[in-house]
């Protein structure tokens, strides 16, 4: 049996139960009534609070807090649990809250999930297996995320909503209804260009002549009735003495995902 590796500056509660090969880094905390399965790793400053039962080979990165008290006004310190499967990764600053009495008392997470930095799982939520939570993805309480779902960066999911199997929620999408299995959902994007960053260029030493050339180029690009190809041709024919405009043209022509106009 592989011995545990506990840093001298780690804090391990007396009631905690650690499996074989568990590693706990400096200033990491394993709280009361926490069970860590074989091969779990707490990187420095990671926190696992209980009651919590975590299976094998879970990784908790610095400053993650897994098993914290539910963020719920009605919570009065009653027993509430977190149950975690195997092979999950909780990256930096991830937070996972235990359940509440009114929600059944348990937050559950399956196996093979990846929680990127700053993602959050609220109380009484249920996460299946092999889901991906991109940076800042946020589940309110009582949310269900099924197997192989992806919740995009900075996407909040309203309480009691469900994300179906293999569904994909695009970045910055606000979810207030159930997302059916196998679907893709995304908030409509209307990002627009409002012209030249004149003040920023002046602060960086661009003189009036350089700025006027850039402004003329942007008028062709976003304010004329020309399409992008026509606008670039017009820039070349009328503004070919400006190195800044040439840089702009090269950037646009090398864009693989289009440009914001």
Q: Which residue has the higher pLDDT, 258 or 34?
A: 34
- pLDDT-above-70 percentage for the chain: 99
Q: Is the pLDDT at 1 greater than 70, yes or no?
A: no
> What integer is the mean pLDDT of 208-219?
93
pLDDT value at 9 more than 60: yes
Least confident of 131-145, 154-168, 212-226: 212-226
Which structural domains are found in the chain, ordered by start?
A: 5-185 (2.160.10.10), 198-253 (1.20.1180.10)
Tracing tokens 């804090």 back to the chain, one arrives at 11
Tell me if residue 53 falls in helix, strand or coil. Answer: strand
Cα–Cα dist 101/193, whole Å = 49
Annotated catalytic residue 124: yes
Element (H, E) at 106: strand 106-109
Helix axes 208-218, 243-253, angle to 10 degrees: 30
Active-site residue identified among 45, 120, 123, 142:
123
- Which pLDDT does position 2 carry in this prediction? 64
In the structure, what pLDDT confidence band is assigned to residue 191 with cuts at 50, 70 and 90?
confident
Residues 6+ apart with CB under 8 A from 121: 95, 96, 97, 107, 109, 115, 127, 133, 139
Per-residue pLDDT of 94-120, as tens digits, reads 999 999 999 899 999 999 999 999 999
Q: Under a CB-based contact definition with an 8 Å cutoff, are residues 18 and 3 in contact?
A: no
Q: Among residues 124, 128, 136, 142, which one is catalytic?
A: 124
Catalytic residue among 25, 37, 39, 141: 141
Q: What is the mean pLDDT of the chain?
A: 94
């Amino acid at each position: 049996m592989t011995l545990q590796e506990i840093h001298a500056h780690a804090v391990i509660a007396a009631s905690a139960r650690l499996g074989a090969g568990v590693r706990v880094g400096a200033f990491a905390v394993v709280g009361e009534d926490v069970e860590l399965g074989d091969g779990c790793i707490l990187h420095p400053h990671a926190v696992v609070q209980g009651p919590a039962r975590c299976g094998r080979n879970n990784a908790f990165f610095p400053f993650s807090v897994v098993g914290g008290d539910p963020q719920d006004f009605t919570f009065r310190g009653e027993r509430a649990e977190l149950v975690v499967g195997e092979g999950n990764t909780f990256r930096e600053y991830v937070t996972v809250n235990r359940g509440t009495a009114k929600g059944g008392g348990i937050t559950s997470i399956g196996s093979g999930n990846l929680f990127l930095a700053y993602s959050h799982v609220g109380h009484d939520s249920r996460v299946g297996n092999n889901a991906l939570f991109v940076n800042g993805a946020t589940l309110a309480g009582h949310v269900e995320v099924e197997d192989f779902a992806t919740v995009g960066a900075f996407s909040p999911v309203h309480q009691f909503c469900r994300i179906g199997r293999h569904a994909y929620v695009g970045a910055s999408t606000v979810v207030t209804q159930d997302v059916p299995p196998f679907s893709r959902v995304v908030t409509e994007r209307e990002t627009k260009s409002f012209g030249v960053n004149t003040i920023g260029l002046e602060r960086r030493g661009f003189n009036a002549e350089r700025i006027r050339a850039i402004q003329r180029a942007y008028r062709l690009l976003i304010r004329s009735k020309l399409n992008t190809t026509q606008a670039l041709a017009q820039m070349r024919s009328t503004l070919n003495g400006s190195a800044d405009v040439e840089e702009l043209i090269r950037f646009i022509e090398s864009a693989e995902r289009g440009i914001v106009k």
